[in-house]
Chain A
Amino acid sequence: MFTRRERKEAGQGYLFLLPALLILGVFVIAPILYAVFLSFHKVELLGGANYEFRGLDNFLKVTFDDRAIIALKNTAIYVAVVVPAQTFLALVLAASLNAGLKGQKFFRVVYFLPTLTSSAVLTLIFMWMYNQNGLINYVLKIFHLPTYNWIGDPDVALIAIMIMNIWATAPFFMVIYLAALQDIPDSHYEAAELDGAGAVQKFWHITVPNLRPVTSFVVIMGIIGTFQLFDQSYIFSGGSGGPNNSTLTVVLLIYQYAFKTLGTMGYATAIAFMLAIIILVATLVQRKFSKEESLY
């Protein structure tokens, strides 16, 4: 089959791969396999690990766990609002910064600043602004708009996190859009101008279609990122997902089951797998849609 030389060469190759394989195996593959194992068991890791095989129990439990359903609903609403909003905002910001206005370099820096702040710090700053007597209510009062108990009112708490996250992540995608915008040939715009197209028409008929591959990337990254919302709602609610479960997300629920309640590690991993599947499906659906409309 193989000559000695070939075998030797292969052996040598694997030897070089060994450190990488070992690290990947220990830190990536093994944890995944262990998680698969955990998701079929009832697990108590404290006081001498204790595993009890439960089959599909952990996966079926979700159906009668109201909090899991609330968490999924919250997360879905969050994704449905935040992903389109931040994508659109990023596109508009990028286009306006690419239009050759005065001082655009300065604004590029200013717009990008929120992205540089760690999300924990950002959340704390926003919580301070969201305070009943805080900055945001103060501004709303000036314009005679209704004020809210942003942190304590279950009806608006999730919206408060949405606003915070859109504001914080849009600039990151803006930079990606900016890079893509530079790649659109000027000749397209010139041709459109000759045909008498206005600025809005050029934006919708040249800029947006040309950016479709990038939009697809931005949306997928956005979906993955928003489905994994954790830190903001964790800090916002002090780890509880309150008030009244309104900021409970799937990842926060997983955290609670894994580390807060004892003996539910297996259930937590089962939910984690289901979340992974949901993200996978959402991404595939998105890809399918963006492929159907080809560029030219």
Chain B
Amino acid sequence: MRPKKWLSSLGISSLLLASVLSGCSSNDASKSDKTEIVLSGWGGNPVEKKLLNEVLADFEKEHPDIDVKLNTINDQYMDVLKTRLIGGTAADVFYLDAFEAPALIETGAIEPLNKYVTDEFNVNDFEKPMIDAFKSDGELYGLPKDYSTLALFYNKKMFKEHGIAGPPKTWEELEQIAKKLTDAEKQVYGLGVMPQIERMYYLAESHGGEVITDGRASFADDKVVKAIQPIVDMRLKDKSAATPSEVGAGQSAGEMFGRGKAAMVVEGNWNIPYMEETFPDIDYGTAELPTVNGKKGTMSFTVGYAMNSESKHKKESWELIEYLTGKEGMKKWTSKGLALPTRKSVAAELGFDQDELRRPLVNGASYATVWQDGPSLPIVMNNFNNQFLSAYLGDRTLKEALEDAEKQANREIKVTE
């Protein structure tokens, strides 16, 4: 009897064990001669998604032995990506925002691309600031798929009603126009402001100060404070500026503008299709950002394709990146004007510099400050934005807020070291 009992208990245990373990085994049933590679990106709008699918279909047609699986991460893209990279389940090729690139490059999770790039691919065709954003020690870690700069969006109807001929050319002009266009009773403000460093980085450095020096926050510098002060003064002294959330327009300056709560906003290329879709009745124009100190300036944001350094199909992954950022792929991707092409030849071919709304954005590319400044930028951004808001709302002076934020940012940077 006894050995039998033994056996049965062993049987039950192993059964339970087996059922647990079977959950872990992977079913690699789909065995075809095609190599499957995965591409990860964020959702974007439906038009964008459709466009990307078309480009990928074209690629698959040209490379019949490669099957591209598109995997979109809709929310908290970077957090998900990092977790997957750690777990070894990240895609072969993925979107990478230039802003987060340096920190990721430092960890070695991203494949260096120099050895893949051929002369034929012509790296020199890319806008220099955009491609430099993905470089580290001369090595290339990503190829910019597109970019956007910031420009001034202004409401033509409001301008006409107040007899203003055109968009401001200088910052001083902007301040005066904003005052004229403000109607406190109707909650209409001259300028809609996003109180974020990513929108005013160029402005912060316009008086010769630096936001980050040698990887440490340095934005409490008087030169930086002086440069940003006008933004705060517009809200607190002139009362001609406000944030979107103050007028119930969510967190988006575009929405504030579309709802007619702001006569001017500083926005990027993405705002053009958004206005078309959501607020088609608003008659607006775009202009290059007003000069500060007689100098032109704007921000530029770029996203690139990067390769997972642990990818099992590096050759195929490169072929995909090569196609997507090559002339043909990029032309198709940017043809609808959702984003601007980073290849000069493509930009010239598509003629966005002739487009009335996009010209100011394209013109900005040559003098824009790229939103990327080393691995500590995310921490600096977080602390700046957090404390800047209190100064912007008038709880304390800008200098105090920024000194506090700088101290905290540098402590946090130290924590990560």
Contacts and interface: CB of A to CB of B under 8 A. Distances in A.
Interface residues of A, number: 43
A244 B416 contact: no
Contacts of B107: 44, 46-47, 262-263
B390 A18 contact: no
Contacts of A153: 393
Contacts of B348: none
A12 B10 CA distance: 8
B245 A151 contact: yes
A114 interface: no
Contact of B385 (A8, A46, A67, A242): A242
Nearest to B78: A260
B382 to A, nearest CB: 7
Nearest to B249: A132
B273 interface: no
Contact of B246 (A19, A134, A152, A238): A152
Interface in B1-59: 2, 5-6, 9-10, 12-13, 16-17, 20
Interface on chain A toward B: helix, strand, loop, or mixed SS? loop
A67 B378 contact: no
A61 B247 CA distance: 40
Contacts of B390: 154, 244
A42 to B, nearest CB: 8
A75 interface: no
A184 interface: no
Nearest to A150: B245
Given A44-B107, A149-B245, A19 B16 contact: yes
Interface residues of B, number: 50
A244 B85 CA distance: 31
Contact of B108 (A47, A67, A151, A244): A47
- Going nearest first, the 7 A-B pairs with the smallest beta carbon separation are A47-B108, A132-B248, A152-B245, A47-B107, A133-B248, A47-B109, A46-B107
Interface of A: 8, 12, 15-16, 18-19, 22-23, 44-49, 61, 64-67, 131-134, 149, 151-154, 238-245, 259-264, 267
17 contacts: A8-B2, A12-B5, A18-B17, A45-B86, A46-B108, A46-B109, A47-B110, A47-B309, A48-B108, A64-B411, A66-B408, A67-B412, A132-B248, A259-B79, A259-B82, A259-B83, A260-B79
